[in-house]
């Protein structure tokens, strides 16, 4: 994959393209259907495929309220590359870019700089200042400027149309099994291991306390079975999201017990996948009760994650 910062750079490499556009936070099954269509059509047209995405969620620029993040920028690029896109353009989304009218976007970005012969989008695609452009307007501009438009069907599940909004809601509800289905992979966050209270070590379950590296969506308080990526390897883990009510803490933290791992990883960046929700967070009457429950949590996590 060739990573570009703006559409103008593309003119140095190729004259025509098949393009798709979107935030693509999560690169979920719906996003994948659109990107894969773009790649397939580019092969048919014998021109490069281009994924035009943004360095931040546009709502961070347009609104005081913006959604939590589903994928780090680096992971999003990796997922897009895995789908076969030849070029990814990571546009800096600022107020200047946001002010482009739908017509200006089509003419300047799609036609003049990307040489689009076809644009692949979902039927709910909006673009241009104030979200004023839709697929009907895009098709009309394409007819005028010389590019086609393909509307890729939305991907649905028994829970409805798969979208980043739906996935964020399911994460916040702790429905990580359903999130895995919608994403097509387990949901993960990335964080740096920082010094905590060292209670887990004293209890026989040393945990990695994470300072998340982005404003990731975090599952609701509880204990989860998952996998931790450490130094290029994946380990089974049990992760606690919450405030440790047994000890009277109030700040929500993510603590990870990495099964069958020994080593000093303070200051290291690790990723944590959430596969299954084990239970709610609970305040215990004694440390012995907590230790017994932690032993049960680790045993259940191991059994669930090792199941073929």
Domain definitions of the chain by residue range? 2-154, 187-306
Determine the pLDDT at residue 204.
66
Compute the distance between CA of residue 32 and CA of residue 28 in angstroms, rounded to an integer: 6
User: Which has the closest alpha carbon to 159: 139, 141, 140, 173?
Assistant: 173
Determine the pLDDT at residue 247.
43
Determine the pLDDT at residue 110.
96
CATH among 3.40.50.150, 2.40.30.30, 3.10.20.340, 3.40.50.1100 for 187-306 = 2.40.30.30
271, 298, 233, 213: CA torsion to nearest 10: 10
CATH number at 2-154? 3.40.50.620
Share of the chain above pLDDT 90, in %: 71
User: Which has the closest alpha carbon to 20: 44, 59, 48?
Assistant: 48
Q: Give yes or no for residue 95 having a pLDDT over 80.
A: yes
Determine the pLDDT at residue 250.
41
Determine the pLDDT at residue 198.
59
Compute the distance between CA of residue 238 and CA of residue 235 in angstroms, rounded to an integer: 10
Determine the pLDDT at residue 2.
86
Determine the pLDDT at residue 289.
85
Beta bridge partners of 257: 238
Determine the pLDDT at residue 249.
47
Average pLDDT over residues 99-127: 96
- Which DSSP letter does residue 153 get? P
Helix (H/G/I), strand (E/B), else coil: 182: helix
- CA-based angle 190:194:196, to the nearest 5? 125
Task: Look at 37-46, 102-111, 185-194, 247-256 and tell me which has the smallest mean pLDDT.
Answer: 247-256
| Tens digit of each residue's pLDDT (9 = 90 or more) over 243-254 | 664 444 445 689
């Amino acid at each position: 994959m060739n990573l570009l910062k703006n559409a103008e750079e593309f003119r140095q490499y190729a004259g025509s393209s098949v393009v798709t556009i979107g935030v693509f936070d999560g690169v979920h099954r719906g996003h994948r259907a659109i990107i894969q269509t773009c790649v397939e059509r580019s092969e048919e047209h014998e021109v490069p495929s281009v994924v035009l995405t943004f360095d931040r969620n546009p709502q961070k620029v347009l609104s005081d309220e913006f959604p939590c993040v589903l994928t780090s920028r680096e992971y999003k690029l990796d997922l897009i590359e895995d789908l076969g896109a030849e070029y990814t353009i990571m546009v800096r989304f600022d107020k200047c870019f946001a002010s482009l009218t739908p017509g200006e976007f089509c003419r300047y970005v799609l036609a003049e700089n990307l040489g689009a012969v076809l644009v692949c989008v979902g039927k709910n695609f909006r673009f241009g200042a104030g979200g004023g452009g839709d697929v009907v307007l895009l098709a009309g501009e394409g007819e005028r400027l010389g590019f086609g438009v393909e509307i890729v069907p939305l991907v649905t599940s028994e829970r409805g149309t798969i979208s980043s909004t739906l996935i964020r809601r399911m994460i916040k509800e702790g429905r990580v099994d359903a999130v895995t289905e919608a994403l097509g992979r387990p949901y993960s966050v990335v964080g740096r291991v920082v010094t905590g209270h060292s209670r887990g070590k004293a209890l026989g379950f040393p945990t990695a306390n994470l300072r998340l590296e982005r404003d990731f969506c975090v599952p609701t308080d509880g204990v989860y079975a998952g996998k931790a990526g450490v130094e290029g390897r994946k380990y089974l883990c049990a992760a606690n999201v919450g405030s440790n009510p047994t000890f009277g803490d109030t700040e929500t933290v993510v603590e990870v017990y990495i099964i069958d791992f020994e080593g000093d990883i303070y200051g290291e960046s690790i990723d944590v996948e959430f596969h299954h929700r084990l239970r709610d967070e609970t305040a215990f009457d004694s440390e012995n009760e907590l230790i017994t429950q932690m032993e049960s949590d680790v045993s259940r996590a191991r059994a669930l994650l090792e199941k073929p």
